[in-house]
Structure formats: structure tokens, C-alpha cells
Amino acid sequence: MASINGIAHIQLSVTSMERSVPFYEKLLHSMEMVTLQKSPQFFYCIGGRTGVAISPVEPEFKDQPFNQRRAGLHHLCFRARSREDVDSIYRTALELRATIIRAPIETDWAPGYYSVLFEDPDGIRIEANHVPGKGHLA
């Protein structure tokens, strides 16, 4: 049996690097991630044992909007160290004028589950959550 240590990175395809790089750069830097690569064709940040990359969609898909109900990515979720960090990410999303799906709220998904949900410029949903203690593993 293999043992994993999280997800090393995720790469998202976006319809406009010009629009998405500033969005992701501000968002990811606000979470203490650092840019490793930035070019017209590829943007990559790392931090918190996580990597996030974006690259442009192929030209024939540029006019097709993201749909979380298609096969592929539904949403991505960053694990925050505290509720205050979730609130900070929410403030950054507001500064970026992201579409807010759900402001920070505690739900019963796991004991103490506190999260925010918003969309990037292509409508890809981004969540940030904090679960105190061991959550479901307690």
C-alpha cells in the first residue's frame, strides 16, 4: 500500500492569462505562496506544501465556459490554518471582485467546518476552509 503526503500541485486551464494571472497572483501571494514561474503561457506558485499552476486553454476551447458539472474539476479547496485565515482569504476575494458564492460560514460538513466559496474570472470555484483538530478523523 502506498502512502501520500497531500496533492503536490494542481494546474488549471484559463481562457485569458491576461485576466487570470493578476487574479491568481494576488490570491496566492495573500496565502504566502510565491511565484516560481510567470510567462504568457504558464504561471506557477508554491507554498504551504501546495503548488498551483495556470495555463491558457487551447484556442478552440476559448469560448467554452467552465462548467463544474462536466467531467473534470468541480472546485478546489485550500486548507487554512485558522478561521481568521479563511476570513483573510475572503477579504482578498472581495478585493479581487470575485463572485462570492458563499461568505465565510460554519457548516456541518465536518466538526467546526468553516469556509468561504468564490469564483475565479472563468467561474472556477475556489474554496478555503478550516477544520479544527482532526475533523472527521477524530
Tell me the CATH number at 94.
Answer: 3.10.180.10
Residue 62 lies in a domain: no
H/E element, 28: helix 17-30
H/E element, 18: helix 17-30
Residue 50 lies in a domain: yes
Cα end-to-end distance, the chain, whole Å: 23
* Structural domain containing residue 21: 10-57+74-137
Whether this model's pTM surpasses 0.75: yes
pLDDT at 138 over 70: no
Number of domains in the chain: 1
Condensed to tens digits (0 to 9), the pLDDT of residues 15-72 reads 999 999 999 999 999 999 999 999 999 999 999 999 999 999 999 998 988 888 888 8
Residue 39 lies in a domain: yes
Residue 65 lies in a domain: no
User: Which among 36, 115, 43, 131 is positioned nearest to 76, based on CA atoms?
Assistant: 115
- Which position has the grid cell 497572483? 25
**More confident call, 5 vs 81:** 81
Measured distance CA(58)–CA(56) in Å, rounded: 6
Residue 1 lies in a domain: no
Condensed to tens digits (0 to 9), the pLDDT of residues 97-113 reads 999 999 999 999 999 99
Residue 66 lies in a domain: no
pLDDT of residue 11: 97
